[in-house]
């Protein structure tokens, strides 16, 4: 431990910091040093001290850190309708742990995936259409390929509620599709069929609080559908995962991931689930909204920073998207996958504990976002829930197509 009196001076206080800041900046009062993020609804002080950490309620939050160091999977991407088997083989040689597999459901998987060994690879199936039919065909191939159901790992990248908006389906039809995907995948203990896509709310008209709130609103809708059909809450939760995307603000999007884990734990308590083994699985990607297609070098830097925040936020899987205009090229996918490999094998991010633990600014963001999300989520439910509120907003979400 550090002896604060070692140098013969009294420890600094926040009042002392404020006096010094006012003296050096020439500001008339402390309020002039505070900045406001009106879009996010955040009031940001110029600095933070240990006194701020002592005054917040982070220690009272249920399992507030929930950080799982060194466990992220490096995910790349293949398109089964465009990539021939030899290209798929090259992608699998990148030193990756899993793939996003974009597929329309057409073609013979025995031929297309002859290079794929699902026992040793997580597969995140991303249907292009008719999700239930695509998943059925995929699981038929998987059953004939894996040695046992528990060996199939990954999930289905398809948020039923979000995708239903473009098709303007009735709630009953959406519930039927959701139940079908759950029924198809629930017997595979390591394969998740219920995706909550938070990235689709990462739009100019939505701030971080709204992104988290609407995603949690979908989670509640899905739980209500499944439990109303007699499914057990705990079994349904094991079939869940969330998909999130990083963004420009390093600390804000890092805080977002940690807030999601905390809110998930709070939702468990509301559903009277006390078993802490039900952890939220977080699949994260770098953003595809803030890249200049003509500036691949800067894109690489952006992707690296976004990959870092995803890892430090405690995500379970990381998909680094391509840096260049032709993101589907093999070389582009290789350099993207190497971002994650370099952070693991050369920067040793997998050897860290919670590297951002003790960041007073991050603690402030987490606590502030938690308060805002809890308030807006309560309001969303009072207004009738996601299904009643969100489809009637002026602008809907993107569908996150590759």
Structure tokens that stand for 351 in this block: 């050897």
Mean pLDDT of the chain: 87
**Closest listed residue to residue 264, CA positions, set 222, 202, 205:** 222
Q: Tell me what pLDDT residue 291 has.
A: 63
**Closest listed residue to residue 318, CA positions, set 71, 73, 67, 70:** 73
Q: Tell me what pLDDT residue 397 has.
A: 55
Q: Tell me what pLDDT residue 391 has.
A: 81
In angstroms, what is the C-alpha Rg of the chain?
23
Is 311 within 8 Å of 318 (Cβ atoms)?
Answer: yes
Is 335 in a helix, a strand, or coil?
helix
Structure tokens that stand for 187 in this block: 């017997």
346-371 tens-digit pLDDT: 988 888 778 888 889 999 999 999 99
Give the CA count within 13 Å in the CB-facing half-sphere of 151: 11
121-169 tens-digit pLDDT: 999 999 998 999 999 999 999 999 998 999 999 999 999 999 888 777 7
**Confidence band, pLDDT 50/70/90 cuts, at residue 63:** very low
Is 212 within 8 Å of 373 (Cβ atoms)?
Answer: yes
Q: Which residues contact 307 (CB under 8 A, 6 or more apart)?
A: 246, 286, 318, 320, 339, 340, 343
**Confidence band, pLDDT 50/70/90 cuts, at residue 55:** low
CATH code: domain 71-392 is 3.20.20.240
Mean pLDDT computed over 208-236: 93
For the chain, the domains span 71-392
pLDDT over 60 (residue 208):
yes
**Confidence band, pLDDT 50/70/90 cuts, at residue 311:** very high
Q: Tell me what pLDDT residue 402 has.
A: 44
What is the distance between the alpha carbons of residues 252 and 254, in angstroms, rounded to a whole number?
5
Structure tokens that stand for 377 in this block: 């989520």
Q: Tell me what pLDDT residue 156 has.
A: 98
């Amino acid at each position: 431990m550090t002896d604060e009196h070692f140098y013969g001076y009294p420890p600094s206080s926040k009042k002392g910091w404020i006096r010094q800041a006012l003296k050096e900046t020439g500001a008339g009062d402390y309020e002039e040093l505070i900045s406001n993020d009106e879009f996010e609804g955040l009031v940001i002080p110029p600095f933070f001290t240990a006194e701020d950490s002592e005054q917040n309620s982070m220690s009272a939050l249920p399992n507030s850190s929930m950080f799982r160091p060194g466990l992220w999977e490096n995910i790349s991407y293949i398109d089964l309708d465009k990539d021939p088997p030899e290209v798929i083989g090259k992608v699998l040689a990148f030193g990756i742990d899993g793939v996003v597999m974009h597929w329309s459901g057409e073609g013979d998987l025995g031929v297309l995936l002859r290079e794929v060994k699902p026992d040793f690879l997580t597969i995140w199936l991303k249907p292009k259409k008719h999700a239930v039919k695509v998943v059925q065909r995929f699981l038929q191939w998987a059953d004939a390929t894996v040695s046992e159901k528990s060996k199939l790992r990954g999930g289905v990248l398809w948020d039923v509620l979000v995708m239903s908006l473009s098709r303007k389906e009735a709630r009953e039809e959406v519930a039927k599709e959701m139940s079908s995907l759950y029924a198809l995948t629930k017997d595979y203990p390591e394969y998740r069929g219920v995706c909550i896509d938070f990235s689709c709310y990462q739009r100019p008209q939505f701030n971080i609080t709204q992104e988290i709130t609407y995603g949690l609103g979908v989670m509640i809708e899905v739980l209500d559908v499944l439990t109303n059909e007699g499914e057990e809450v705990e079994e349904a939760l094991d079939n869940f995962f969330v998909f999130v995307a990083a963004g420009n603000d390093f600390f804000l999007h890092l805080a977002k991931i940690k807030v999601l884990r905390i809110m998930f734990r709070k939702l468990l308590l509301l559903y009277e689930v006390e078993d802490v083994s039900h952890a939220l699985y977080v699949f994260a990607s770098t953003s595809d909204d803030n890249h200049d297609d003509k500036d691949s070098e800067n894109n690489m830097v952006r992707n690296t920073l976004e990959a870092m925040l995803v890892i430090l936020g405690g995500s379970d899987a990381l998909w680094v998207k391509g840096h260049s205009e032709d993101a589907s090229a093999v070389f582009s996918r290789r350099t993207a996958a190497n971002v994650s490999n370099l952070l693991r094998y050369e920067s040793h991010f997998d050897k860290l504990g919670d590297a951002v633990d003790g960041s007073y600014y991050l603690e402030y963001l987490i606590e502030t976002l938690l308060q805002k999300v809890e308030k807006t989520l309560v309001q969303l439910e009072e207004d009738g829930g996601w299904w009643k509120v969100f489809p009637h907003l002026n602008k809907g979400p993107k569908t996150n197509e590759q």
